[in-house]
Structure 1
Amino acid sequence: MLDINQFDQINPPARLLMGPGPINADPRVLRAMAAQLVGQYDPSMTGYMNEVMALYRALFRTANRWTMLVDGTSRAGIEAILVSAIRPGDRVLVPVFGRFGHLLCEIARRCRAEVHSIEVPWGQVFEPQAIEDAIKRVKPRLLLTVQGDTSTGQLQPLAELGEICRRHDVLFYTDATASFGGNALETDAWGLDAVSAGLQKCLGGPSGSAPITLSEKLEAVIRRRQHVEEGIRTEAHQDGEDERIASNYFDLGMVMDYWGPERLNHHTEATSMLFAARECARLILQEGLDNTIARHALHGAALLRGVQGLGLDTFGDPDHKMNNVLCVRIPEGIPGEPVRGLLLNDFGIEIGTSFGPLQGKIWRIGTMGYNARKDCVLQTLTALEAVLRRLGFRAPEGGGAQAAWDYYDQQAADAS
């Protein structure tokens, strides 16, 4: 028989989450999540849904009507877009520069796409011409990109790709989970047809809700498939077999009907997560999106200066580094996992490990969302120095924190 007394109240240990995500949620977001629930068709609830759509249009910098949430982690947003947009047999092109490009390939294959990929070594990104050359060769229906890949800390430039896709009649999607809110992203100006994100990184919330935005062009594709599912057959697809969306939960046509004025029942909206997503967006727009991006750039650059002040090297192309994730090479002779263990157990600070070709070679340190703050950067650098010195690495005494401090002081002087 189960002894209920062995289960205490949930009381997680105090942690400063300085890895590549998730991060510590902003306390104001947590308070919003504690608000009382209401029915999914209560006028206050549908009003909040409309507000979320408006707030995220401003964050995505788009006029897209269909800017909304997919209930689930950021991967739910990715999968909803891909399963709704990709027809079996469609050619898709995926530029892979880290782990999450491989993820897009896997999901696209599960959608029964004909997947073509191009790759660069981890730590680099693609030139627009390389992507256009591949588009000319493959002739894909969709280009699936990752904007910021936390496995490498790199940010893929997207600004020129929309025009390339327009000229070649290619639908253009990006996974902005790791970059959204902390790096520039211009949905309409860059010609993006779909973008998906998550709350748990630069937006400063918990994992569990995926903001997305869809262009009118992609909406038309999804609606066409939805009509086939309802029994309306097009001349080109009399049997409808190649058009039907394989998922019910991730069928964005049905999700649009739920978020739109029809309010057709699809699922029960995750009310507390909607409150969290609304508060994440409200806080960023209150700060000013450009100011939020600048804050991420400031603290990411200060962390970089501090890491260099400790005598450590970084990984990846510095000209294409994400504002919010820094990849640090593990010094020769220093065991990577024991460093992470001491930081976590003795200082309560979590930094990220690595995988793939970088496993055991780098640490990944994040400065994002609520943790893109001066005190978080200085605490992390001070603790990292102490651990490294204890394990025999001759880090300059006080070198990390002092270098970061100097950078902050210089930036403040330049701004005054």
Structure 2
Amino acid sequence: MKRYRELSPSLRTIMTPGPVEVDPRVLRAMSLPILGQFDPEFTDIMNDTMDMIRALFQTDNRWAYPIDGTSRSGIEAVLTSLIEPGDRVLVPIYGRFGHLLVEIAQRCGAQVSTLEQEWGQVFARGQVAEAILRERPDLVAIVHGETSTGCLQPLEEIGKACRASDALLVVDAVATVGGTRIAADEWMLDAVIGGTQKCLSIPAGMAPITYNERAEAKLLRRKRIERGLRDPKQEADSGGRPIQSNYFDLSQLQDYWSPARLNHHTEATSMLYALREGLRFVLEEGLEPRFARHLEHEAALVAGLRAMGLTLFGDPDCKMPMVTCVNIPDQVDGESVRSMLLHEFGIEIASSFGSLKGRIWRIGTMGFSCNKKNVLHLLGALDAALLRHGVSIPTGAAVQAALDVYDSKVDAQG
């Protein structure tokens, strides 16, 4: 029989838009003893987690809990539960992950219309609101922060427009939650999906979500059909359809997370430990200080890149604070530079997708990976890698520019 080596992954400095380095305290929590899912100690952990998810999304929603699975499981759970066949769905697209929302909505049988913006920009004030008035959708699905382009879409006006037209607003906040402000109630977001493997610095494997009473009302109507409490034909005539998925049925999952704890699936115990502890560390740091930390290290990184002579991709007025997209210099093999960073310096950055593949690098400063050591390490390594690839740059200027940013903050505080 073939013998396999003991697992021993290399230590990396991960500066991609996800996954990122995991807080060691989260890894420690994952090694704790397993509890049964109906053990009172475990249900206390579930309740703690729900409370912290509410705080994370800045909401008073009754329903705030994780979906067991990676971020896409949360997106699928929300969309498959809220979209009925024949529903009109509007998806404003300004990057790769808008197309994912379109695909999932189409699989649900929706009549999908799209509004597209050039990659590297977001929608101007009024654009999405005008499309909502024109298309009269039942549901609008949009990405908050597009990691494919490094752009952040403001949501406040879109939330108001959806509420005025009685459309549900579903937001993919996978890349932004825990790294910048998301005010679900204030912005009138009906359902929001987050991810663990980015700014929360938890392994991929859970997707915290929240949704309000408007979304729940649709779930409960579909649940009545599914359980035969109303005439399915009568409901079908009025547009109602039962939820097809079992695993991703929010109407069943909320029963599981309710005080009744109705059995639905076996909970991912160790991942729930990780989520609870990761959220605890986020809230202990404080949301506003955490957002400020992401802005500080973004500023240092950007100053270093510009001092090196590199340029950024996209409109700077809508840049995500946790993702920086860098134009690859002409005549430079971007993949060769990435390979050198990984194998010589132990640093991973990302390439991109579609028309941007080979044109930009994407650098993440997220969660636990968002720190001074990582920023300075990356800038010094990228300096060396570009010189090695024949690019003429002012040697050492990048690290010095980043240090100037850090020093200016110390001076301001002192």
Normalised-by-shorter TM-score class: over 0.9
The residue matched to 1:237 in structure 2 has which SS?
Answer: helix
After the TM superposition, which segments of 4 or more aligned residues of structure 1 sit over 4 Å from their partners? 238-242
Is residue 233–residue 240 contact of structure 1 (8 Å, CA) maintained in 2? no
Alignment partners' CA distance in 2, 1:167 and 1:70: 29
Q: Secondary structure at the match of 1:231?
A: coil
Shift in Å at residue 286 of structure 1? 0.3
By how many angstroms is 1:285 displaced?
0.5
Using structure 1 for the length normalisation, give the TM-score: 0.97
C-alpha distance in 1 between matches for 2:41 and 2:391? 57
Aligned-partner SS, 1:63: coil
Letter in 1 for 2:292: A
Deviations along 1:81-102, one digit per CA (max 9) or x if unpaired, are 0000000010010110000000
Identity %: 53
- Alignment check: 8 A CA contact 1:71 1:269 kept: yes
SS class of match (2:201): coil
Determine whether 1:150 maps to 2:143: no
User: Residue in 2 aligned with 1:114?
Assistant: 111
SS in 1 for 2:382: helix
Partner of 2:331: 333
Instruction: Give me the CA root mean square deviation.
Output: 1.2
The answer to whether structure 1 residue 9 and structure 2 residue 6 are counterparts is yes
Q: How does 1:156-175 map to 2 (within 5 A)?
A: 156-175=153-172
Q: Who is 2:352 aligned against?
A: 354
1:345 aligns with 2:312: no
Task: Assess, with a 3 A threshold, how the Cα gap between structure 1 residues 385 and 200 changes in structure 2: closer, same or farther.
Answer: same
- Alpha-carbon distance in 2 for matches of 1:339, 1:26: 27
1:371-390, Cα deviation, whole Å (9 max, x unpaired) = 11000000000000000000
Shift of 1:224: 1.0
Q: Partner residue of 2:31?
A: 34
Alpha-carbon contact 1:228-1:240 (below 8 Å) kept = no
Deviation per residue, 1:331-380 (Å, 9 max, x gap): 00111000000000111100001111101100000001101100000000
Q: Is the 8 A contact 1:233 1:239 kept in 2?
A: no
Give the match for residue 43 of structure 2: 46
Q: For the structure 1 residues 241 and 145, does the alpha-carbon distance in structure 2 shift closer, same or farther, using more than 3 Å as the test?
A: closer
Match 1:289 to one of 287, 290, 303: 287
Which letter maps to 2:49?
A: V
Aligned partners of 2:111 and 2:238: how far apart in 1?
19
Q: Secondary structure at the match of 1:205?
A: coil
Match of 2:253 in 1: 255
Distance 2:234 2:186 in 1: 33
Aligned pair count reads 413
Partner of 1:21: 18
More displaced 10-residue stretch of structure 1: 175-184 or 238-247: 238-247
Deviation string, structure 1 residues 145-185 (Cα, Å, up to 9, x no partner)? 10001000000001222111111111011000011111111
| Counterpart Cα distance in 2 of 1:319 and 1:184 | 16
Q: 1:241 to 1:249 in 2, by over 3 A?
A: farther
Aligned partners of 2:147 and 2:68: how far apart in 1? 22
**Residue pair 1:18, 1:366 contacting (<8 A) in 2 also:** yes
Match of 1:213 among 188, 207, 210: 210
| 1:48-87 to 2 correspondences below 5 Å | 48-87=45-84
Matched, 1:198 2:190: no
**Corresponding residue number in structure 2 for 1:379:** 377
Q: Secondary structure at the match of 2:156?
A: coil
* Structure 2 residues not aligned, in runs of 5+: none
1:367 partner letter: T
- 1:297-350 residue CA offsets vs partner (Å, 9 max, x unmatched): 111111111110110000011111111000000000111000000000111100
How much has 1:233 moved relative to structure 2?
2.2
Q: Aligned partners of 2:239, 2:311: CA distance in 1, in Å?
A: 53
Counterpart CA distance in 2 for 1:241 and 1:332 is 54
Kept in 1, the 8 Å contact 2:76–2:248? The answer is yes
Q: Quick one: which of 319, 322, 340 aligns to 1:321? A: 319
